[in-house]
Amino acid sequence: MRNIRASREFSLALRLLLLNQFGIDIGFYLLMPFLAAYLEQGLGMSAALVGLVLGARNLSQQGLFILGGSAADRLGPRVVIITGCALRTTGFALFAFGNSLPLLLGASVLTGVAAALFYPAVRTYVALESGDRKSEAFALLNVYATTGSLMGLLLGSVLFLADFRIWAIVVASVFGVLTVAQAMTLPPHPVAPRRTSGSVLGDWREAFGNRRFLLFCLATTGMFTMENQLYLLLPDGAFDASGWKGSAGVLLAAGAVANVLFQLRITRALARNGGGTRWVSPGIVVMGLSFLLPLFVCLGDPPASRREAVAHMVVMVAGSVMLFFGIMVAHPTVLEMVPTFGRDTLTGTYFGLFYVFSGLAATAGNAVVGRTMDLGEKAGLGWLPWVCCLTFGLFSAGAVALLGRTGMLPAMPVPAPAAAPVPERRAAPGSSLVRRAGSRVVRVAPMGSKAMRTAGKVPENSTAALESGPAAGDGRPPGTAHLPGPFRAGDDTAEQPPR
């Protein structure tokens, strides 16, 4: 309920994007993890052709993120979001009706291109629309995405016995509805952007020439490598520790529940304690340390009883939840920082380039971890892949901390903590009061003063009026503001948070 209430505080457009992210992840994880089995068992394809179809999706997605980001800058994120969702609708429909290699390759490429357009554009829209609440908006996006992926995996494992094509049609229909809803609801211009000048290649040169941003992308590669072990190392370790094939789902479910319960709380707590930027490195450290817990159960003999298997699973779940906690600390702030490295008009380009780096990091990191898993099994060094992930975490955290100490990270505004409301009290004639409105301090003019009588043409017997700025000879510092009320100036409405 806390997440739903927080979602309602944002604009209708952002609420739709959160719901859209939820639906996209449900559909993706409902079908894509089981696509290989459908192609091999349902259509009789060889392993080589299955790998070709799946590889086409990954290649088109990772290689075109930068194009999706540039399109969001040039055309506006709304157009790119709708286009990406429509392409995903078409791709999943082709998976339902296609049974030849060309059609299946086309469906795979379309779903990859759709993701390359959709993800940078959504992050760009969120960054532009959420104002100074970017971290909280990205935290909610993380909650909806994690919940959707878990529900998709659970539904997929249950519905896999049914015809894959039927569920492909269902998912395509859902994506089609989301496409229409976005076309009808998303404002065409969430902010008034300053159009980029020059060519797209010029924008790319500017982004690739931003040394601080490239170092930041490299420093955070360990975070994405460790996050992807939820689908590689941790499921393998959980099966070895418990002997149960369904253990991987338990790990993901426990992490998703923790994400729903604590993500928003963690993000707001970090905002009250200096902002999330200073906590990125500690969050990555927590992610790395989470791989130490499985060492207590993955290096011994297989469980001899059900009770021992349950005890092993408790340890594995604790490691998975700890990894999720590290992600909850670091990930929203990392996304918040990405657009601050460049111009506002290149927000999409920076998000696209960032996703190119994160995708390459995940691929290369998985290859390294997979290699250490093979070496550990052959040499009897079961601890090797877990220590490898710990090393990734410590290296990444140290690199981010070093960038911060050397001033290579952009300065981020520190959110002002919400102040406790000050009870209103009646002032004596000739005195003045200071009140708090949110995080702003405002001064109430003395009753009976000239400012009281003239502000907004309030009658002299009125009990409240506010000065809109420093009066001549007042000596007060600038920055006083109107309190919400019937005498508030019309231009104050721009300062209110989105609803």
Domain 1-137+146-189 falls under CATH 1.20.1250.20:
yes
For 422, other C-beta atoms within 10 Å of its C-beta total 12
Single pTM value for the model: 0.78
Q: What is the pLDDT of residues 406-440, one digit of tens each?
A: 999 887 765 544 444 444 444 444 444 444 443 34
pLDDT for 444 equals 42
442: phi then psi, degrees, rounded to nearest 5: -125, 150
Domain range 207-417, CATH class: mainly alpha
Q: Is 444 left (phi over 0), alpha (psi -120 to 50) or beta?
A: beta
Rounded Cα distance, 177 and 110, in Å? 18
| H-only helix segments in 190-232 | 200-208, 211-219, 221-227
**Which SS3 state, helix, strand or coil, does residue 437 take?**
strand
Percentage above 90 pLDDT, the chain? 46
Instruction: Tell me the C-alpha to C-alpha distance, in Å, between residue 59 and each of 16, 162, 359.
Output: 29, 29, 10
User: Please, where in the chain does CATH 1.20.1250.20 lie?
Assistant: 1-137+146-189, 207-417
pLDDT at residue 230 tops 70: yes
Q: Residue 123: which of 17, 16, 230 has the closest Cα?
A: 17
Q: Which of 74-83, 193-202, 272-281 is least confident?
A: 193-202
Residue with tokens 């410590």, as numbered in its chain: 394
pLDDT for 489 equals 31
pLDDT at residue 333 tops 90: yes
For 166, other C-beta atoms within 10 Å of its C-beta total 11
Q: What is the pLDDT of residues 343-380, one digit of tens each?
A: 888 999 999 999 999 888 888 998 999 999 999 889 88
